[in-house]
Chain A
Amino acid sequence: MSGPNTSFDPKQVSVLSANAVDGMVREACEAISAAATLAALKEVRIAHAGDRSPLALANREIGALPPAAKAEVGKRVGEARTVVKSALDDRQVSLEVERDERVLAEESVDVTLPAVREAVGGRHPLTTLIERVCDVFVAMGYDIAEGPEVEAEWVNFDALNVPPDHPARTMQDTFYVTSADSGVVLRTQTSPIQIRAMLERPLPIYVVAPGRVFRTDELDATHTPVFHQVEGLAVDENITMADLKGTLDHFAQAMFGEGIVTRLRPSYFPFTEPSAELDVQCFVCRGTSVGNPDQPCRTCGSEGWIEWGGCGMVNPRVLRAVGIDPMRYRGFAFGMGIERTLMFRNGVTDMRDMVEGDIRFTRAFGLES
């Protein structure tokens, strides 16, 4: 670098003349415009804005000028470098945009290609339907009770007011474990869970009890020896049959839609008295198909009602067998078949689909039926 030279005439330092500087800028700008790629622009940047570029070299000469000339020349060179830098930056941005557009276009794929390499599985619709039922009752303040599938005959029958020779024991054909007089059976119903709940839980009791039950029916389109029920039990002071009706109405609405109602018909179960069959209003036709042959309903067979389960007031004899004072407490109970519910709710037409485990059937229900 040259030292200060107070006698130096700037007009005689040709590289700092206005013409020279303008020329450098012009050349730089031309080169910038001509750079077709980011790599070329990088070369241009080095050549016209780098440490050894004409403008950088000219800049160094400023120090050699007399102080009076420095300001003017310095301003000129500074502006020139700013112009060049700005042109470079603009060109950089536009070349990057160009490159991105090209590269991204080149990288484009067919996003409609199948993306799922490992399909999501599925939970059995009976499982998820049971969970749905449980959730409705949990929201009403009920707990979920459970019990063993191999059950003491006393719990499955005797305590439920089904004495040894009662015809009800032959109504449901029972699998006996070991021998017919072992006192151990595959539970024929979820009602023994009621007995366990009443023996093991503090009063008042509000539980629903889902579970797998067993009867000696051969598998066909409408029967299976292994099936599922869900049962509800409420034992409290001042429980009434109207409470049973209201609870079932609420349940039916939660399962089948606003405004759906239930119907009770007198019936018989040993463990409830009074007892009733439970029908739910057809949630598809809501009764409009009855007597209307032009609009038949397949869900309810144009009956307007669908048989859903059984219910009633807990027989005081059952309360006595579990040591609950029937003078002080009353209860209601209800139960329904889950397979049957799935059949009419989800349109399953053959019982075998639910037991054979064909993955095509279950996958269709995903994670909630």
Chain B
Amino acid sequence: MRAPVSWLREMVGIPLNEGGRDIAERLVRAGLEVETVEVIGEGVVGTLVIGHVVEIEELTEFKKPIRWCQVDVGPDHGGARGIICGARNFAAGDMVVVALPGTVLPGGFTIAARETYGHTSDGMICSERELGLGDNHDGIMVLPEDVGVIGADAAPIIGVGDEVLDIAVTPDRGYALSMRGIARELAFSYEVEFDDPGVRVVELPAPAAGAVPAECGSEDFGACGLFTIRTVTGFDPSAPSPLWMQRRLVLCGMRPVSLAVDVTNYVMLELGQPLHAFDLDKLSGPVRAGWAKAGSRLETLDHVVRDLGPDDLVILDDSGIIGLAGTMGGLTSEIDDATVTIALEAAHFSSGVVARASRRHRLSTEASRRFERGVDRALAPYASARAAELLIRFGGGIYMGMTAVEAEYRPSRISMPVTEPSDVAGMPIDGSTVVRLLQSVGCEVDESDGRITVDAPSWRPDLTDPADLVEEVVRLMGYDMLPSTLPTSALGHGLSWAQRVRRRVGMALAARGAIEVLTYPFVGDRELDALRLSEDDPGRAKVRLANPLSDEQPLLRASLLPGLCAAARRNIGRGNVDLNIFEIGSVFRGLAGETLVRPSVDHRPTDDEWSRLNDLLPEQPIMVGCVLAGERTPAGWWGASRPFDWSDAVESAQVIAEVLGVELTVARGSDPTFHPGRCAALMIGDAQVGVAGELHPRVIEATELPVRACAMELNLDACRGAAHSVRRAPAVSTHPVAKEDLALVVADSVPASTVMKALRDGAGDLLESIRLFDVYRGSQVTGGHRSLAFALKFRAADRTLDAGEIQRARQAAIDSAARTCGATLR
């Protein structure tokens, strides 16, 4: 809502020394967010005067037509003077704005008498844009004939020096979408009287004798509780709007159109009541509000044909639908430059009905914005009287009277302890202050037995609950009056296990060189195809957005890898070629449920409702993933570089398992995204919880990653579940260790992890640790086989092991490997 300060001053006695910024600060304190304070014609210094164009000589010898004008600027400014002008939208006899030499225009442009087009141009005839009044640069400003005395100061007439506050109005403050509502807040803030124009009775002439005003009606008083029509006939469609009205409309961001349209807009800005003017001669029968029939249509004033249905509240006459109630009128009954009889609709429509229509038709208008936020239920007759008075004053015409239908109106009544505001705020506010503050916003307040009963004013439909009254009281006291105290406070439990897990994993990966990224969860088929994910792969996204930002990415990720690959590619494109990036985040698996549940909000949902609400949601496990490419260790004075390979991907999973205390085992894996021979399945027990390895060459090609790029993805929720948040202390033996190395020859097809497990199983409890320290393939070993060399450490908790014990344990390990893996001692 744009509010010119000059208009506010006209409505309320703001102290003269208070400027736009001061006023804005008052409004902000009251809860109206003032986004900007704009000074109109900012930068104009010097004199702008009203000039009268006496004579125009067309100069044709130049590339473009130029006018040599004689403009009378009054005796005080030297009478007529010659001015060169390129605009053509004016004629001899017009009144214009003249900037005299010495005047500075916005942008620091100083007017001087200068030689141009063979004449001395002694000033400038100004356009709106040159004066910083608006964007209109179609021509110069032509003022009405009766604008004032020739030579008079034009600044106040055209609004130069005025200030405009741009206010962002929150949904609960519909009343602030009017000068009336803003002025009321200022009256309270400055502690001055407020003469409310919204309840002021406008004196209209008595209806013409025998006049028959247009009839009206409402088919649903729930949706349209008040409908009025005032009729004015004999209106002069060519009568212009007064300049001040046009200027105010422009300052408020609206375009002057014609007197009839301007008046409806002006009164809406002034009082907050949307109005609609019909050409009565285009109507047939009574005008009424009612519901549209399925399949009906309406071409609205914006020339869009809209399909309407039984959810649309419309304005009807006997010909059918002529408007979308509270939103926009129809084209067929539009007033035009021949309209002489005006039917002025002022009505009250339910905010929900208008909000729904506005959403459904994607049509937000000045009217719908106001109705959605709640229009003063009692305002319509006052506003339409004000509009009729303006139409008659400036456009002539005969008043034909008003018809109205109205449901009974009862203000919302709220009762609460008078101490409630004080209790909620946590500061003392005495009862008389509560009553006084509520009265100042227009409430009627009865106090008895420590309770107050409050009737909210018709312009505050947002006041329905005690909490709303508390807010009014506390904000009018000033939020800056609130003391700063602390609650007696809670007994917390610290971070949850899940939170500690995420932190620990992030910290461990980062400390080992990985860099966290946070990617968007939006994916599309192209990226999923690039990862070679089949339709039934769990990593294939299934949860679909109804309104994605991009049609290319309508799905929610079921895997972190698409986002990580994209982030990797972006980095590489920027020259960050050695990459170890990771992400911890949720993925979305399974489909959202289909049975809609919408419990009441008047009480707690039942357990059944609550579980059905949660059943609507897909699974959202937390995953950790990484993508590795380029070099892990760069070449340096220490030696050659070492590229990332499949084992770094496996390592990152094992580091996570290690820091969480999870027993994660690695098995040969198979995954369409990964190189078939370099893919590790990450297992907890018998369940696969992740995958790691080198990406499939086709995936690398499709995702445009460097060759041998690697990746890992692990279900962190599963790891968390398998981890022990409280770890058991080990028995640390102080007895000597016995070290045994052995090399086993096994077939290539036997995974090292299997051999290691067999050794461990065979060696028994005396085995303290086992480490694979060499893998050999070559002439010493049969083809298709390899030699795996292990270092074993044996130790007992309670004694020094003797040679025999060690030998038996070693042999048992070898026997186990021989039995399970066909291993032979080398």
Contact = CB atoms under 8 A, between A and B. Distances in A.
Interface in A145-198: 146, 148-155, 158-159, 161, 163, 165-168, 170-171, 175-184, 186
B671 interface: no
A239 B485 CA distance: 10
Interface string B506-524: 1101111111111111000
B570 interface: yes
A122 B547 contact: no
> Which one of A152, A166, A236, A265 has the highest number of Cβ atoms from chain B below 10 Å of its Cβ?
A152
B479 A266 contact: yes
Given A183-B597, A204-B490, A367-B510, A167 B567 contact: no
A177 B592 contact: yes
A159 B601 contact: yes
A358 B566 CA distance: 11
Q: Which one of A123, A143, A212 has the highest number of Cβ atoms from chain B below 10 Å of its Cβ?
A: A123
B297 interface: no
Interface in B247-281: none
A369 B30 CA distance: 37
Contacts of B548: 175
B592 to A, nearest CB: 5
A150 B487 contact: no
Interface string B568-582: 001100101001110
Interface string B593-620: 1101111011111000010011011101
Given A183-B616, A184-B616, A167 B486 contact: no
B207 interface: no
A206 B520 CA distance: 30
Contacts of B520: 225-226, 355
A153 B597 CA distance: 9
Contact of A122 (B173, B510, B544): B510
A5 to B, nearest CB: 55
Given A170-B355, A206-B489, A320-B602, 5 more contacts: A117-B636, A121-B509, A123-B506, A134-B495, A243-B426
Contact of B424 (A143, A144, A165, A313): A313
A242 B429 CA distance: 13
A81 interface: no
Interface stretch (B326-334, B335-343, B463-471, B709-717): B463-471
Nearest to B511: A120
B579 A359 contact: yes
Contacts of B62: none
Contact of A246 (B484, B503, B511): B484
A121 B359 contact: no
A274 B465 CA distance: 11
A274 B598 contact: no
A152 B598 CA distance: 9
B610 A199 contact: yes
Contacts of A120: 510-513
B486 to A, nearest CB: 5
B299 interface: no
Contact of B496 (A144, A199, A362): A144
B571 A357 contact: yes
B33 A245 contact: no
A141 B488 CA distance: 10
Contact of B602 (A225, A321, A359): A321
Contacts of A117: 633-634, 636, 638
- Select the residue from B28, B616, B620 with max chain A CB neighbours within 10 A: B616
28 contacts: A118-B512, A118-B513, A121-B511, A127-B506, A143-B492, A155-B613, A163-B352, A176-B546, A177-B556, A180-B546, A199-B604, A206-B490, A218-B549, A239-B487, A241-B474, A242-B484, A243-B485, A246-B483, A246-B485, A247-B486, A264-B480, A265-B29, A273-B471, A275-B471, A315-B465, A316-B467, A321-B604, A367-B510
Contacts of A236: 487-488, 490
Contacts of A367: 507, 510-511
A121 B489 contact: no
Contacts of A363: 515
Nearest to B618: A150
B356 interface: yes
B592 A150 contact: yes
A127 B516 contact: yes
B491 interface: yes
Nearest to A204: B490
A323 B495 contact: no
Contacts of A167: 171, 355, 372-373
Nearest to B474: A274
B711 to A, nearest CB: 15
B513 A276 contact: no
A303 to B, nearest CB: 11
A274 B472 CA distance: 8
A347 interface: no
**Nearest 7 A-B pairs (CB), nearest first?**
A323-B604, A240-B426, A266-B31, A242-B426, A357-B517, A206-B490, A274-B471
